[in-house]
């Protein structure tokens, strides 16, 4: 369990909570006049359902007509016919960083490639400079502004990577801010150490020496401080080789930390198969993934995290091998990949639409991709992604006639309410429903 998780609807936050969290009422009681998608599958929907929350956890769910007598005396929350899904999970973000890279966006439009910008000192390294120069309080304020739109779309769990510090102090600073975001906003934050993201300028020409620093100094210190839930790396021509990635994964294994990988985004270096050999919880991007990599992922149970925001923003033309992933039964998740250089998106709902329109995923696939499978990509399938008795009350109420509307609309947010860690937050569509009735 991460440090941001809570057991009751009134949590003990070491940081002062955001005002919206402090004012949020408790969700305990019976949520009725609703339709339930317990595992986000429209084929297993429970129409005319009810859901009971006690002490910030789900105590019962099913058809409202079957509500046990023991719960009929509890307070009522009228859902006004909303669809209730598990809280959404954004399983791949780089939310904490300094500055932005709008100027590089303009350079790409003028013809420069991602590799051209990186080799010219831009790209990840430019964000590293900005992040190192930004103090923790400013990083927290900037990341808070990026997190709020995601929370307003029903996100209740999110992964936040480091990787823009590339030295111990700056990586620590990023991960500390990520933990603080979870505590302040009452959202589950899974932190990922991405020290092997890029080669810092002080290690130019000495990639192996830098990987030694990542494995022998940075990772042990950050694990000791309780700041690391998973370890990631960028296995790519402009990142790190397969052999260097193995060294990072070996170090993670020594510390008992699960791994994931940025793999096959720009070329095929066999990263997905390598990740699968280490039992990676996910391999992400995957535009250049081949069938051997797909088979390896299927055998290892590794989730394919697809990132249509980056695909769109980079104007890529190489699609991930969706049919191969389907054929071999590899679970597919979608995420924002929020980052300053290649996916400055703060809408997970937009990723649902892009997953359908760009990658040709079906509505059931994209609904599962930000709930059930996204939770698996965090190694948290037992805590997130489904509505189930005993779990912390994290769920979203949508003012829609059919779940397909979550992928159909873009530029519209139909969230009526979201319950995070047993607390109620109104969404932008809350004004579209009638007044509260018992």
Instruction: Say if residues 159 and 305 touch (Cβ distance below 8 Å).
Output: no
| 339 is an annotated ligand-binding site residue | yes
Q: Is the dihedral of CA 341, 212, 304, 36 positive or negative?
A: negative
| 288 is an annotated ligand-binding site residue | no
Closest CA to 307 of 333, 274, 281, 275: 333
| 197 is an annotated ligand-binding site residue | yes
Instruction: Say if residues 192 and 260 touch (Cβ distance below 8 Å).
Output: yes
Instruction: Say if residues 96 and 177 touch (Cβ distance below 8 Å).
Output: yes
| 382 is an annotated ligand-binding site residue | no
| 435 is an annotated ligand-binding site residue | no
| 101 is an annotated ligand-binding site residue | yes
| 80 is an annotated ligand-binding site residue | no
Residues whose CB is less than 8 angstroms from the CB of residue 413 and which lie 6 or more positions away in sequence, other chains included: 152, 153, 349, 427, 428, 429
Sort strands 29-36 and 76-86 into parallel, antiparallel or unpaired: parallel
Using CA atoms of 245, 247, 248, 253 in order, give the dihedral in degrees to the nearest 10. 120
**Binding-site positions for Zn(2+):** 92, 94, 262, 337
**Binding-site positions for 4-imidazolone-5-propanoate:** 101, 164, 197, 265, 342
**Binding-site positions for Fe(3+):** 92, 94, 262, 337
**Binding-site positions:** 92, 94, 101, 164, 197, 262, 265, 337, 339, 341-342
**Binding-site positions for N-formimidoyl-L-glutamate:** 164, 339, 341
């Amino acid at each position: 369990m991460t440090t941001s998780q809570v057991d009751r609807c009134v949590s003990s936050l070491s940081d002062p909570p955001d005002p919206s969290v402090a004012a949020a009422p408790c969700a305990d009681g019976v949520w009725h006049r609703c339709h339930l998608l317990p595992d986000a599958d429209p084929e297993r929907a429970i129409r005319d359902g009810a859901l009971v929350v006690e002490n910030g956890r789900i105590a019962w769910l099913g058809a409202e007509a079957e509500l046990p007598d023991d719960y009929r005396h509890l307070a009522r929350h009228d859902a006004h016919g909303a669809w209730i899904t598990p809280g959404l999970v954004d399983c791949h973000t780089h939310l904490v960083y300094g500055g932005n890279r709008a100027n590089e966006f303009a350079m790409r439009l003028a013809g420069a490639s991602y590799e051209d910008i990186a080799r010219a000192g831009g790209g990840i390294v430019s964000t590293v400079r900005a992040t190192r120069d930004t103090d923790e309080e400013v990083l927290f304020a900037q990341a808070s502004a990026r997190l709020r739109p995601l929370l307003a779309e029903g996100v209740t769990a999110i992964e936040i990577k480091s990787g823009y510090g590339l030295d111990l102090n700056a990586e620590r600073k990023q991960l500390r801010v990520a933990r603080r975001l979870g505590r302040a906003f009452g959202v589950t934050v899974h932190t990922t150490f991405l020290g092997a993201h890029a080669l810092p300028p002080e290690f130019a020409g000495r990639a192996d020496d830098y990987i030694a620093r990542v494995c022998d100094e940075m990772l042990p210190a950050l694990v000791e401080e309780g700041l690391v839930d998973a370890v990631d790396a960028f296995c790519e021509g402009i990142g790190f080789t397969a052999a260097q990635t193995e060294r990072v994964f070996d170090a993670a294994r020594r510390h008992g930390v699960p791994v994931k990988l940025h793999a096959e985004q720009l070329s095929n270096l066999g990263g997905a198969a390598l990740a699968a050999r280490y039992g990676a919880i996910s391999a992400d991007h995957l535009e250049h993934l081949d069938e051997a990599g797909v088979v390896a992922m299927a055998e290892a149970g590794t989730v394919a995290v697809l990132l249509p925001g980056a695909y769109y923003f980079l104007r890529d033309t190489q699609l991930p091998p969706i049919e191969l992933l389907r054929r071999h039964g590899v679970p597919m998740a979608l995420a924002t990949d929020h980052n300053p250089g290649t996916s400055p998106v703060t809408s997970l709902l937009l990723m649902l639409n892009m997953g359908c329109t760009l990658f040709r995923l079906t509505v059931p696939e994209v609904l599962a991709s930000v709930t059930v499978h996204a939770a698996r990509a965090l190694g948290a399938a037992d805590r997130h992604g489904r509505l189930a008795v005993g779990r912390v009350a994290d769920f979203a109420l949508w003012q829609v006639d059919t779940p397909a509307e979550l992928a159909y609309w873009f530029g519209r947010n139909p969230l009526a309410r979201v319950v995070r860690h047993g607390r109620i937050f109104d969404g932008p569509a809350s004004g579209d429903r009638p007044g509260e009735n018992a």
